[in-house]
C-alpha cells in the first residue's frame, strides 16, 4: 500500500508514519510532505477551507498513492482529479473541512476524519478558562510580577467566585461538552444542559431556561445558520447579573460587541474565549480592551496528546480500509 502523509508541524509526518507502522507493519511504502502550518496560517485554497499547502506540490506527491493522511493539505477538486490511484483520504481533524468531499465521492474516494481527537484537551482548556475568569488570574498575574501585592482583592466586592456549588450551563453535549460535565462533577458544580440529543443529564428544553439558571455558561455547539449569534444582547440579558460566559466552540456563536457591552455594564461578571469570528482578532477590536475577559488564540485542542491521538486514529482508519480492501477489492475500472 502506497501512503502519502501530508503533515505539518503539529500532526507531524513522523508522528503519523510511526503510528501507521506500529499498526500496519513495516511493509508500507510511505512518502511525506510537510506544510508550514502553524507557522503559516491556514485559509481558503480553491474551494476548500482551513487549508495550508500548495496544490501543485500535493498533486506531484500523490502520483501512484492509494491512501493519503493529512491535516491541512488542500484536497480540492483539481487535486482529486489528478490523483488517479487515490482511494482513501484520512483527515486528522474533527471534520474534513480541507477536502472537497463531494468531488471525492464522485471519484469513489472515501473520506474519513478523526472526531473526538481533541476532546480531552478542549474540555480541560474550557475548565482552565472558567477558573481563570472566575478567579481573574490573568488580571492578577502581571501585578505580582510587577511588584504589587493586591491584598485589596480580599474585599467582598472584588473577590472571585468558586465553581463549587455553582450552576454551569452547557450549550451542546457532544464529546467535549460531556467531558466538561464529568470534570465539573469533581468540583461539586451542578450541570444543566441544552441539547436536544443529550440523555442522562439535567436538560432544559429552551436556551432561555438554561441562560436564566446558569452562573456560568459554556458553549459547545456547532455553528450553523440557526446557532449564529445565539448569544446576543437579548441572550446575555437573560443571564443572572454577574454570570460568566465561556466559548471554546466557534466564534460565530457569539455577538462579541454585545459581550463587551454586557461586561462594561456589569451584566456579565467575566468572560473567557478561545474562538472568535475573525481570527486573528482585528486590531482595534473592543474585545481586546474589555474588562474581566480572558483570551486565548484558538489553542483549546493544542496538546501533544491531541496530535498523538489524531495519528493513532488515522492509522486505525487506514487499517480498517486495508481489511475491507483485502476482503473485497475495489473496482478500479
Q: Same domain for 279 and 313?
A: no
**333 assigned to some structural domain:** no
Torsion, Cα 181 186 191 194, to 10 degrees, reads 0
229: alpha, beta or left, given left = phi > 0 and alpha = psi -120 to 50?
left
DSSP for 38-58 reads TTS--EEETTEEEE-S-HHHH
Are residues 274 and 144 part of one domain? yes
Do 278 and 153 sit in the same domain of this protein? yes
Q: What is the pLDDT of residues 225-249, one digit of tens each?
A: 999 999 999 999 999 999 999 999 9
Q: Are residues 133 and 262 in the same domain?
A: yes
Query: What pLDDT, in 10s, does the model give residues 173-212?
Result: 999 999 999 999 999 999 999 998 898 899 999 999 999 9
pLDDT digit string, tens, across residues 77-125: 999 999 999 999 999 999 999 999 999 999 999 999 999 999 999 999 9
Number of domains, the chain: 2
Position 234 in a domain:
yes
Do 277 and 308 lie in a common domain? no
Q: Where does the pLDDT of residue 329 fall: very low under 50, low under 70, confident under 90, or very high at 90 and above?
A: low
14 in any annotated domain: yes
Instruction: Kindly state whether residues 96 and 126 are assigned to the same domain.
Output: no
As a whole-number percent, the residues of the chain with pLDDT over 70 amount to: 98
Give the separation between CA 200 and CA 182, rounded to whole angstroms.
12
Residue 207 is assigned to a structural domain of this protein: yes
pLDDT range class, residue 327, cuts 50, 70, 90:
confident
Where in the sequence numbering do the catalytic residues fall? 250, 279, 298
Residue 83: its pLDDT value, please? 98
Average pLDDT over residues 274-281: 96
Domain coverage including residue 283: 119-295
DSSP H helices in the chain: 13-24, 55-61, 77-82, 101-106, 119-135, 137-145, 175-186, 207-213, 233-238, 256-265, 304-327
Separate counts of helices (H) and strands (E) for the chain: 11, 13
| Residues of the chain by 3-state class (helix, strand, coil), percent to 5 | 40, 20, 45
Within this chain, do residues 145 and 290 fall inside the same structural domain, yes or no?
Answer: yes
Residues 193 and 318 in one domain: no
For residue 209, CA distances in Å to 125, 170, 172, 205, 213 come to 26, 12, 14, 7, 6
Residue 26 Cα to chain centre, angstroms: 33
Same domain, 87 and 133: no
pLDDT at 325: 82
- pLDDT bin (cut points 50, 70, 90) of residue 331 is low
Q: Do 172 and 196 share a domain, yes or no?
A: yes
For residues 61 and 135, state if they share a domain.
Answer: no
What CATH number is attached to the domain comprising 218? 3.40.50.720
Q: What confidence score (pLDDT) does residue 25 get?
A: 93
Amino acid at each position: 500500500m502506497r501512503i502519502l502523509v501530508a503533515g505539518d508541524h503539529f500532526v507531524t509526518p513522523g508522528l503519523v508514519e510511526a503510528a501507521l507502522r506500529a499498526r500496519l507493519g513495516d511493509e508500507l511504502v510511505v512518502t511525506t510532505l510537510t506544510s508550514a502550518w502553524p507557522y503559516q496560517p491556514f485559509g481558503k485554497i480553491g474551494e476548500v477551507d482551513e487549508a495550508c499547502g500548495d496544490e501543485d506540490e500535493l498533486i506531484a506527491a500523490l502520483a501512484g498513492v492509494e491512501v493519503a493522511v493529512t491535516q491541512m493539505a488542500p484536497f480540492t477538486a483539481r487535486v482529486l482529479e489528478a490523483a488517479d490511484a487515490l482511494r482513501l483520504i484520512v483527515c486528522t481533524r474533527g471534520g474534513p473541512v480541507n477536502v472537497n468531499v463531494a468531488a471525492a465521492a464522485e471519484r469513489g474516494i472515501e473520506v474519513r476524519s478523526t472526531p473526538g481527537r481533541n476532546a480531552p484537551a478542549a474540555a480541560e482548556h474550557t475548565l482552565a478558562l472558567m477558573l481563570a475568569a472566575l478567579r481573574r488570574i490573568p488580571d492578577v498575574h502581571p501585578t505580582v510580577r510587577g511588584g504589587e501585592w493586591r491584598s485589596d482583592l480580599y474585599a467582598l466586592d472584588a473577590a472571585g467566585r468558586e465553581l463549587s456549588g455553582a450552576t454551569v450551563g452547557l450549550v451542546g453535549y457532544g464529546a467535549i461538552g460531556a467531558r466538561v460535565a464529568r470534570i465539573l462533577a469533581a468540583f461539586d458544580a451542578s450541570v444543566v444542559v441544552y441539547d436536544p440529543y443529550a440523555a442522562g443529564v439535567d436538560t432544559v428544553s429552551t436556551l432561555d431556561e438554561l441562560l436564566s439558571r446558569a452562573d456560568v455558561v459554556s458553549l459547545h455547539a456547532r455553528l450553523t445558520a440557526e446557532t449564529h449569534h445565539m448569544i446576543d444582547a437579548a441572550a446575555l440579558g437573560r443571564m443572572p447579573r454577574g454570570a460568566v460566559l465561556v466559548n471554546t466552540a466557534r466564534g460565530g456563536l457569539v455577538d462579541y460587541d454585545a459581550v463587551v457591552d454586557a461586561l462594561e455594564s456589569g451584566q456579565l461578571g467575566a468572560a473567557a474565549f478561545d474562538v472568535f469570528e475573525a481570527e486573528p482578532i482585528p486590531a482595534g477590536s473592543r474585545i481586546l480592551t474589555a474588562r474581566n475577559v480572558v483570551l486565548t488564540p484558538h489553542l483549546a485542542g493544542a496538546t501533544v496528546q491531541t496530535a498523538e491521538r489524531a495519528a493513532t486514529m488515522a492509522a486505525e482508519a487506514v487499517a480498517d480500509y486495508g481489511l475491507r480492501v483485502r476482503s473485497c477489492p475495489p473496482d478500479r475500472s
